[in-house]
Structure 1
Amino acid sequence: MNTPQKAIALGIGAALIQALMLIAFAWPAANTAPRDLPLAVTGPQAAMVTQKLNQAVPGGFEITRPADEAAARTAIADREVYGAIVTGDGAPRVLVASGASPAVAQQLSAMAQQLSGARPAAVEDVIAADADDPRGAAFGAMVLPLVMAGIAGGVLLSLLVPSVSGRLIGLVGFGVVGGLLSMAIIQGWMSIIPGPYPILAAVAGLVSFAVAGTIVGLATVIGQPGIGLGALTMLLIGNPFSAATTAPEMLPQPWGAIGQFLPPGAAASLLRSVAFFDGAAATQPLMILLAWAALALILLGVGFLTSRGRTPASATTVSAEPVPA
C-alpha cells in the first residue's frame, strides 16, 4: 500500500471511529426512557395506580406491591426498587432515592404530579444524593476520567514496559495510588459523594486496575491490536452504557444490561451502593470488577508463560566453525 492509499485508509478509519463514537454516546442519551424500571406501589389504591402507570408508560415499570409503606422504604434502601408510590387518603405520596439516580427521582416526581391531578403530590427523597451534587452531574462525570485514566495507564504500561512482571508491578502501583488519590479529590476536596473513604478508594483502585489491566493483558497476549481492542471496548461500549447519569433500566436494551457487566457500569453501581446505601446490592458489581481484574491477571500469566517458552534466536544459532584447540 503506497502513501496516498495509506492516508486514505487512515482517514476513512478515523471517520468510522468518529461515527461509532457519535452513535455510542448520542444514541443512549436520545433514547432515555424507563424500561422495566423497578418501582413499588402500595396502599388502598395500589391497583388503580398500577393500571394508570401501565397505561401511561407501557412496559416502563416493573411494579411490585409491598405490604405497606415501611416495606416500600426497605425495598428502596436495599436497592430493590428506585422509588415507591404510597396511596391512601388524599393524593399519592412519592418516595424517591436520588442517591440511586437523580434522573429517575426527577421523572418519578413529575409522573406523580400527573397521577395526583389537581392536588400536588408530596415527594420525599428518602436516600438523597450528596448536597454538593444534588443532580448527580458530578457523579456521572466522575466515571469517564476513571475510565480514561485506566485506558491511558494501560496503554503506557503496554508500550513502555516490556516485561510482564514490570507491567504487573505498574498495574498494582497505578491501582493503589490512583484509588487513594482519586477519592481524595472526589470526596475530600470536591465532596461529591459520602461514605467511608478507605472503601471508596479501594473501589476506585479496583476500577483502575481492571480497566488498565485488561488493556495490558490483551497487549501482552496478542500485541498492539490488544491495546485498541481493550480501549475501544471500555470507551465505546463500557462508558456510554454505564448508566452513571441515569439507570441501566433507562437505556436501550439489552445495552443497558450489557453495560453493567463492563467495568464502567459496575463501577458506577458499586460506588452508589457504597456511598449511599451502606453496601446494599454491592455484590454483583463487585464480583464483575473482580472478574475483570482476574481476567487481566490470567492474560498476564499467559503472556508470561508464552514469553518464557520462546527461545531467543541467538541461542539457537550454532557456530559452524570448529573451536580452536
Structure 2
Amino acid sequence: MKSSLARRALGVAAGAALLQLIMIIAFAWPAARIAPRDVPVVVAGPQAAAVAGRLAQERPGAFDIKTRQDEAGARAALTDREAYGAIVTTPSGPKVLTASAASPAVAQQLGQMAQNLARPDGRAAPAAPVQDVVAADPDDPRGTGFGALALPLIMSGIAGSVLLTFAITAVAWRAAGVVLFAVLGGLGSAGVAQGWLSLLPGSYLALAGVIALAVLAVTGTVVGLATALGRAGIGVGALLFLLLGNPLSAATSAPELLPRPWGEIGQALPPGAAVTLLRSTAFFDGAGSAGALAVLAAWAAGGFALIALGGWRGRAKEEPAIEREPILA
C-alpha cells in the first residue's frame, strides 16, 4: 500500500514538474526569439528599387519587400493591412511610415531602422522622419493593454466551459449556455475595454461581436471536447488554447516576429485569430479580417459539432437495448 502511494506521489510530482517546464517553454520561448521574419513592408518613390535591393542585402530574410509607385500607394498598403510599414524615397531623402496599431513592436523596429537609413547614393544622412499612419489608441500607445486582453479571454472561456459542463447536464441547454455566455461576455468585455480602459476605438457593437465570436470559439470547443470525450476534453482544450494558443497569439508582437512556423500556427488558433480580428476591426475598418473571421467561425462550428456528437453518443448509451424474441421453429 505504501509503495503504491509512493509511486503515485512520484508520478504526480514528475508530471507536475514536466508541465511546469512545458509552460515555461511555451510562454518564454516565443518571446525570447522575437525577430523580423519576412515582415511585409513597402518601398515607394523614385529610388524604390535601389532601397529595396539594399534592404534585402543588409537584412536578408527580415522583410517581405513590395514596391509601390508613390506615397499614396504606400499609405494604402498600410491602411489595407498589406504591410506593417513603408519607406518612401524622395529627392530630399527617405521617410518612414508605420502602423503602430498593427504592431507597436514592428513600428518600433522600423523607427529604429529609420535612424540608420542612408541616401540612395550611399552617403550618410540625418535620421529619416517617421510618421505613424495608423496609430494605436492614444491611451495605449505601446499596445500593452491590448496585449493583455488575450489571456483573460482564454482563461474565462475555459472557466466558463468548466462551469457549463458540470452545472448543466442537458446537452441542448449546455449549448444554449455557451451562446448566452459568448453574447454577454462580448458585450461586457467590449464595454470595459472601450468604455473604461479606452484600449479599442471603433464601433462598440462590432468589437462586442468580435469578442463574442472569440469566446464562442474557445468555450464552444472546450465544451464540445468535454461533451464528446468527458473530463479529459477539458484538459485537451485548456492545453491547446492556454499553453499553445496564448503564447503564439502575437498579441504583443506580430505573427511575423515569432519563430517559424509558430506564427502561422498561432493564427490558426482562436487566440491569434481573435487578436488579428480585433486589430482589424478596431483600427483598420475590417481590412485584413477575412482569414481570422473564418478561423474563429470554423472553431465555433467545430465546437458545436462536438457538442452534438457528444449528445448523440450520450442518448445512444441511455437507450435501453431492444430485446429480440427468439424465433420459434
Q: TM-score, normalised by structure 2?
A: 0.93
Give the match's secondary structure for 2:68.
Answer: coil
**AA aligned opposite 1:217:** G
Identify the match of residue 24 of structure 1 among 1, 18, 26: 26
1:108 aligns with 2:113: no
Distance 1:189 1:232 in 2: 31
Distance 2:61 2:215 in 1: 36
Give the match's secondary structure for 2:117.
Answer: helix
Structure 1 segment 1-325 matched on structure 2, within 5 A = 2-116=4-118, 117-311=124-318, 315=320
For residue 94 of structure 1, report the CA deviation from its aligned partner. Answer: 0.4
Distance 2:74 2:5 in 1: 66
> In terms of mean alpha carbon deviation, does 86-95 or 96-105 score higher?
86-95
Kindly indicate whether the alpha-carbon contact (under 8 Å) linking 1:39 and 1:64 is maintained by their aligned counterparts in 2: yes
Kindly indicate whether the alpha-carbon contact (under 8 Å) linking 2:77 and 2:83 is maintained by their aligned counterparts in 1: yes
Kindly indicate whether the alpha-carbon contact (under 8 Å) linking 1:91 and 1:120 is maintained by their aligned counterparts in 2: no
For residue 249 of structure 1, report the CA deviation from its aligned partner. Answer: 0.4
Distance 1:317 1:285 in 2: 48
Which residue in 2 is equivalent to 1:323?
none
Give the match's secondary structure for 2:14.
Answer: helix
**AA aligned opposite 2:290:** T
Which whole-Å deviations, capped at 9, do the CAs of 1:28-81 have from their partners, x for residues lacking one? 111111111100001122222222222332101000011111111111111001
Distance 1:81 1:316 in 2: 62
Give the match's secondary structure for 2:17.
Answer: helix
Give the match's secondary structure for 1:38.
Answer: strand
**AA aligned opposite 2:44:** T
Give the match's secondary structure for 1:301.
Answer: helix
Distance 2:101 2:309 in 1: 41
Which whole-Å deviations, capped at 9, do the CAs of 1:147-167 have from their partners, x for residues lacking one? 111111112222332221121
Give the match's secondary structure for 1:85.
Answer: strand
Which whole-Å deviations, capped at 9, do the CAs of 1:102-142 have from their partners, x for residues lacking one? 11001001111111444021101010000000000000011
Distance 1:296 1:204 in 2: 16
Distance 2:259 2:63 in 1: 14
Task: Give the 4+ runs in structure 1 shifted more than 6 A.
Answer: none
Q: TM-score, normalised by structure 1?
A: 0.94
Distance 1:156 1:92 in 2: 57
Distance 1:139 1:311 in 2: 47
For residue 302 of structure 1, report the CA deviation from its aligned partner. Answer: 0.6
Give the match's secondary structure for 1:114.
Answer: coil
Structure 2 unaligned blocks of 5 or more:
119-123, 324-329
Kindly indicate whether the alpha-carbon contact (under 8 Å) linking 2:117 and 2:127 is maintained by their aligned counterparts in 1: no
Which residue in 2 is equivalent to 1:322?
none
How many equivalent pairs are there? 316
